[in-house]
Amino acid sequence: MREPDQRDSGATDGTGSESTNPLNSVLPTGDSSATSEPGTGATPSGRRSAGGAGAGAAVSGAISGAVAGVMSAIRTHPKAWIAAGATVAFVLLGAGSVALGATVGSAPAGAAVAAPPTHSATRTPTPTPTPTADPARPVPAAQPAASRIRTCSVASLAQDGRLGNLEAQVVNAKTGQVLFDRNGGTPGPTASVLKTLTSAAALATLGPDYRVQTTVVAGSVPGQVVIVGGGDVTLSRLPGGQGAFYTNAPSIQDLATQTKQALGGAPVTSIVVDTSLFGGPLWQPSWDEHEERVVEGSTPYMSALMVDGDRNDPGAVESPRSTDPVGRAVQYFQQYLGTNVPVTSGTAPAGARQLAAVQSQPVTTLIDQAMTYSDNTIMEELARLVAIKTGAGNTFAAENAGVLAGLKAYGIDTTGIHIADGSGLSADNAVPPSYLTQLFVKVLNRQNGLGVVYDGLPVAGRTGTLGPGYSRFTGASSIADGSVHAKTGWINNGYTLSGIIDAADGSQLTFAVYALGPVSDNAKQAIDTLTTGFYKCGDNLTNG
């Protein structure tokens, strides 16, 4: 079974400072014997041994003898010694000034400092040299701030064999930092997750308020009417659209009623059907027609005119589709007109008078319903309308250029993206997980009207294809119920999930997970388990 998903049956920092080094705090600045009492041991001199004191006495005697000799020489040659003494005094006076200045500059706070002597001559101070770095010694460059070390790993979960060839990425939505990556830049088939891109392109190209119109105009001969398909797949055959799967759908009954009123009672002689808005083929060649159109009933032939998405059961999410959606729609138009006149294919005359018109719900409503229930039909309609509006063309082949043009509005690099359809049903679609994680940041922030995409996302354990009955986020993974808003996807060669996680630590993450290759249905549970791991880790998630 392919998209839409079918409901199931059952390190410590040191605090030391250089100022605490005892060598810096206790070294004396002068002879402490002048201020310490003998024998107290308060200074190094006070801690000298008795032997040291005796040696000091001997030195004192020698000094006394030398002084006596000098005094005798002065008495013998008084003039010569007077001149020498004056010279020595001058030198000592200058040296004393320098020493006194140094003493004053280094005196502790609160200590008494003697006033410096006054000199009659002013000395020019020697300028202090500017310190320069030693060219031989390298100066370390400023170090970058240390990055956070994250410790929460989901590596074992990512190695689950049920995930096949894993492509995944997780981003912190606030910082944009990639927390986890496994081949995240590799384009791969997205399955129905592609609906997110189609929605974004439609919002940017068509606008949120755009409504798709179906009209009836006057034909080229009297009594002829032309019903013109505008591509609205939600047009319903049910009276007033009541009971239809599509919310508040327009009614083909209303279209017929308006037509009769506009004709004023004149009979309808023939009906022309104009479905030229959409070009062929009606079926995308890479889709499995039997499985999708007949067995699963997920997708119709894409014609510009149909009712109820061409479902056999107009009120069902999925129901087999016919081989002639146009014929089914015309059948009900005739029924409500009350006529069985001939019907032919053609185009409306240029400038023809409009007789009747009905409109779909706005694009925002269409997106909301299609995202919640993974409706292929609405998304194929929107992709085709985007291609037409951008001038790319009106066929499946034009949708790649059309959708990519629409996505330019979001400023995200689209390199590697290929759009084969609007629903994601084709395995030929290719989008890297890294594109989705960036786009979902904008969805979360409701930029450019993308809030409607967020509002339509299924919620784990609560709504849509992640809700009750789909066997998603059950057992141990139920801890993430209500916290994962994501689009599901499934095609024959892969299962996908992408969206937003309100993580346990309060952070918000965007993520995309593709389980590709020969995977089976249990890949869904492996994806849920891995996503629950992202939820538990939050911003502490490591890529290891």
- Active-site amino acid positions: 192, 195, 374
Quote the crossing angle between the two packed helices 376-389 and 399-407, to the nearest 10°.
80
Q: How far apart are CA 56 and CA 52, in angstroms?
A: 6
The angle subtended at Cα 65 by Cα 59 and Cα 70, nearest 5°, is 125
Which sign does the torsion angle of CA 7, 292, 329, 235 carry?
A: positive
Counting Cα atoms < 13 Å in the Cβ hemisphere of 15 gives: 1
d(CA 85, CA 80): 9
CB 8 within 8 A of CB 470: yes
Please state, in angstroms and rounded to a whole number, the distance separating the CA atoms of residues 179 and 412. Answer: 19
- 485/470 Cα distance (integer angstroms): 15
SS3 300: coil
Q: Can you name the residues that pair with 499 across neighbouring β-strands?
A: 486, 511
Number of Cβ within a 10 Å radius of residue 52: 10
Quote the tokens at residue 223: 């009594």
Phi and psi angles of residue 454, each rounded to the nearest 5 degrees, phi first: -60, -45
CB 157 within 8 A of CB 480: no
On whether the CB atoms of residues 486 and 460 are closer than 8 A, the answer is yes
Half-sphere exposure of 46 (CA within 13 A, CB side): 13
Torsion sign across C-alpha atoms 229, 231, 237, 241:
negative
**CA 409, CA 96: separation in Å to the nearest integer?**
82
Element (DSSP H or E) covering residue 534: helix 523-537
301: left (phi over 0), alpha (psi -120 to 50) or beta: beta
Rounded to whole angstroms, how far apart are CA atoms 93 and 96? 5
> Does residue 249 contact residue 234 with C-beta atoms inside 8 Å?
yes
Distance (Å, whole) CA 33 – CA 44: 8
- Which contacts of 322-331 are long-range, i.e. CB under 8 A and separated by 24 or more positions? 325/300, 325/301, 326/229, 326/273, 326/275, 328/237, 329/229, 329/235, 329/237, 329/252, 329/305, 330/227, 330/271, 330/273, 330/305
User: CA separation (Å) from 512 to 160, 171, 180, 394, 488?
Assistant: 16, 9, 10, 30, 10
The residues with which 311 forms a beta bridge, in sequence order, are 321
Alpha carbons 475 and 522: distance in angstroms, whole number:
14
Which residue reads 């439609």 in tokens?
202
Q: Is residue 393 within 8 Å of residue 402, measured between CB atoms?
A: yes
